[in-house]
Structure 1
Amino acid sequence: MASNSEHTLVWMDIPVADLDRALTFYRQVLNRTLDDYRPNNPMAVVRSPGGVSCALIEKPSETGQGYGPLPYFNCAGRLDQALSQAKLNGGRILQDIQSIEPYGYRAIVLDSEGNRIALHSPER
């Protein structure tokens, strides 16, 4: 994940039903090499040097209508406060704060418009 605290968007999860098919698609479309983490994790990472990277994560149950990409927004050092503000402003916590070692912590929220977003902080 991008560690530069000036980035608003720090990461993106893109759920895929078939990781091999998705790897072929993104490699060809982006003309880039992707880091394949199988067999330990069913995911591949699209690196963006100096910027925001994303992961293709094999989660067939999260593809299609109602899901889609999961953007991670930077809430460095204020994750608890961000969750409180989300609740006060029409959001709903779908997944409370959890460790995503070695990348810090995240919580997944439904925003006021029904979109899933992740709030991220390198420290709790």
Structure 2
Amino acid sequence: MKSVTVGWFEIPVADMDRAIAFYQKVFDCILNQQEMGDFQMAWFPWDESKGRAGGGLVFHKDFYHTSKLAGTLIYFSSEDCEVELSRVKDAGGEVQIPKRMIAPDIGYMGVFLDSEGNRIAIHSMA
């Protein structure tokens, strides 16, 4: 049977500048903003050599809409998800599920609403 993995993800936003400020503060990183015709995108830093999918924020008034309670849930990886979760409120988001253990061999997770109203998860082993 063929293996299938995530190759790219996109998080819809309503306000690109606000969303970039939110994610840069929460993840302590710099996003690379690009305009591609009538699309606006901002890419998260990623390292393909570690087998992790890349992705970014995307704005298009007709094709992308934020999703507070429905749709796909994206998990970001972290050393300790409590670090990023602790930054969410000050960045303009809301923690929905504080850090909690999934199982000892799987690690921890938490869920937050970003500045745009998207539900996003974060996972760590610590």
State the TM-score, normalized to the length of structure 2.
0.45
State the TM-score, normalized to the length of structure 1.
0.46
